[in-house]
Structure 1
Amino acid sequence: MLSDKVTKLSWVYQLYRLGQTSSLRDKPQQVLHAILEHIVEGFGANSGTLGLIEEDTQLLTIVAGIDIPDHVIGIKIELGSGILGLVAKTGQALLLNGDMSSDARFKTTVVRDKSSRPSSAMCWPLKIEDRVIGALSINRKDAAEPYTEIDLENGAVVVNLITVVVENTRLHRDQEKRIAMLSKMNDEIRSVNERLEDAQNQLLQSEKMASIGQLAAGVAHEINNPVGYINSNLGTLQKYLKDLFTMLDTYEQTEPLLVANPDVLTNIRALRDKLDISFLKEDVSALMSESQEGITRVKKIVQDLKDFSHVDEAEWQWANLHNGLDSTLNIVWNEIKYKAEVVKEYGSLPDIECLSSQINQVFMNMLVNAAHAIEEHGTITLRSGVQGEEVWVEFSDTGKGISQENLNRIFDPFFTTKPVGKGTGLGLSLSYSIIQKHHGRIEVSSEVGKGTNFRVWLPIKQPEKKA
């Protein structure tokens, strides 16, 4: 082996180059194999094995081999077992010539394949200061040229050169594991943050609904009183006007009696024409009717807001879905009236057990989404029905539709197809959560360019244990 100094220097330089290769970062396993192959060749061996100690298990793992069975790579050896295990445990280099079965140091070693046993072998520990990180062995089958103690000492020098390279490879591998672990932790943290953000947004949405309910109660209290007396005053005023118009009619009937006083008659007729009493009587009646209609609408809006929020109903109650749907429709009418005609095809529904304010929130999201899906002007059709122990409410629009690749994601938190700033991507996610809480389901079908259909299924009666 290594017959002259020039050859030795060239061989050592090549070994150094192997340790400096950039592949150490990208393909450390190949570098270890190449180094072992270089040593086997340089020492005139037929085979070789490299094992590293795993810090967590303290077992020796075979990481590279020359002329050994493929299944050996990756196996784990207990420290003290076999040549590699003994050297890794003691930290002392070992020279073996002859039959190892007669060597007292290996009396407990099981020899699986006697035909492949080497006639001469050398094994060195890989040490960083006093810490053993692994072991390397090379084997020669030709008994005519056994290894000597001098070979063992020369090999120790070479092994010291490559130990740093091997340790760097191990450190690189450990670093990759830590990076992978940190990446996984980051993914888990990101996932937890998303779930927390989703929960926070749901909480904010619930708080917003509670605020709307409190606002509705305050508005109802503040508005109902003045609306009440305005409505009462308008009724009284209408009666007074009717009496005045009766009196005017009576005066008009007395005009023929004023013929003897032509000046007075002329003045009365001139004033009547100037004031246009006939138009005034008609217009005042119309104004009174419109005012009373306006007051009635204000009362209805306040009542719808109360019905929508159900501020006093935080528990599960039996509710009429059609009433909730109509109240919600009135609340969001400003979002819909310029975009769509609303068609109602209600079936006969029984009252269901639910949290009315939350179901109305689902209805609101469905109606607003349907309106936003219509680009110019279209139709929103509301249908309902009952099947077995469930009821269903359907929202169909003639909007732009949802593509198939997005259809499976529409209930994901923060997913939206709306332009930036136009939607949070929480409406359908919250709706889905609410319906799940009610032990129901949402079915959706859509066709791009034709429209979308959402059907909300709810049980008539909730299970005994409510979420």
Structure 2
Amino acid sequence: MSEYMISPVFMVTQSCEPSVFLPADSLSFEVINGLRSGKKVLRSTKPSLVILCVANEDDIQLCQGIAQYIRQGLANQDTRLVLIHQPALQLDEVLWLETFQINACLSAIAEKALFNATVLKREIATFQYIDNTCKQHDAETEMLVCITRFSRADENITALLSAFSAALASLCHACCSFEIYPENQAKFRVRSSGKDNIDILKTMQALMSGETLPACVSQAIDEKHPQISLLHDNAGLDLITRQLDTQIGSYLAFPVVVYKRVVCLLFYLIPESEMDRVSMKQITIINKAAEQLTVLLERKQAESSLKKQYQRLRDTLLELKSTKEALAHNEKLASIGRMAAGIAHEINNPLSFVISNFSSMDGYINNIIQLQSMQSELLTAIDIQQHQEAAHLKKSLNDFEQQAGIPFILDDIRAIVSDSFHGLQRVKNIITDLKSFSHNQAGEKAFCDLKAVLDESLKMLRYDIDSKVTITQDIQFSGLFYANAGLLEQILLNIIKNAIQAMTMSGTTSPTIVIVVTEKDDELEIRIRDNGPGMNESTKQKIFEPFFTTKPIGEGTGLGLSVVYNIVQRLQGRIICNTELGVYTEFAIFFPLKLNEETEMQ
């Protein structure tokens, strides 16, 4: 209703002087004497009272037109309409009451002048009550809307507090309002919630910057709940009240509390003339608003804290992920470094040996060629019967054989060739292991006899298994297994060979390997257990990593168990290791048998 000007009083008539209907000076009003001019005036203002004065037929038409325009054209049910007519003019008052919603009907009789004036004043008071109630409801609605806006994440808190302060100022009919923000324990920043005089704002800032705060402000900050009270002389606001044009009767202090801390104090000065309009209902609404505002602001701050914490956790997670990737990369580099050192040593030893052997063989071959040349000369001398020359050549030949060590050369050259062959074979085996690790060799699958595969694997290891290693087999699976026999052999070879090497290196007494094959829960289970040195937990966690080995550099590439793990995965199985340091190590391999049944059906 702020769009209307101050509510005036209108008298509608075009035939008589206003004094005919009202006593002189009984009421201040403006006259409407035409329908068109009346509509123009009524569009721009909301009158508190319209007096419809009827003395003849022309007045009837004008008053009915004005009344109909107010009730229907403007949809205004608040303005009070009072009909005053001449006693000689008989009107259907019921028609006026029902059709035009007239609030009162009066007769323009001199004896009733005072009564009529009293009725008119009562109607004005009724309008003011209705208008004030509507304004009060509007102020309450605006304040509640402001509170709900605090739940939105994208709203600025300071702007919301300013809007809320303006709504609260309207609710309590304040003439002056301030927003006081604590910046530290002894310093405050003051903003104006309305269009207060800049001098008043400066005065309030000076009061809040003094050594002692005004008593009413200090009490509100300490108690942390809304306070509405009379403004006493000792309130400490005399410098402000003297600058205002109206007499101040009371004040409202509204602290905005978040987690038991006052983040803002809304302070209002209420004129003495408006104090009776502040009811208990408004005080209750103000207290409820304080509670709701605290809840919403605490939730908003909690949401903000959670978002910040989430962002910190997200950044930490990304940092950890980056660190993990860097560590994994460094571990790969370290593994590659260990592999390179191992492979270089593994290949360098046999190659150095082969190169050294070929260097010796080069000298041997020169001696053999020279011996062959001398033998040719001897044979030629014998053929041409140069006996003296032949005898000399024979002696030289015998001397050269003794000097060059031909018998040793003939014997050693065989060992050199054999050792060189084994060295080159070692290089070939290393390259084969690398190829097995780096290539995904699926291989052809077929039904195979697991007992036969195991026997063939042990036969290939007969040179590694000496009489001191006992191999025990317990085969409880008699069916055929659908897999690649070559890959199965490679699994068994690597695990059994590792067990033999571990027991040999540790000097295990009565070294024993137990191999158990069973069928359990639609799975083929192969367990290979030795009574060797076992492993600690750190070693166990790394045994399937490529290039990891516990052997000295040059004794192994660290690819055996990694190859085993990859083959088991390719055959859709799984492998686990159980071990106890100084007691045993056991590898358990599981293959699904349902795949075999499906293959048989196909």
TM over 0.5: no
**TM-score, normalized by length of structure 1?**
0.39
Q: Which has the larger radius of gyration?
A: 2
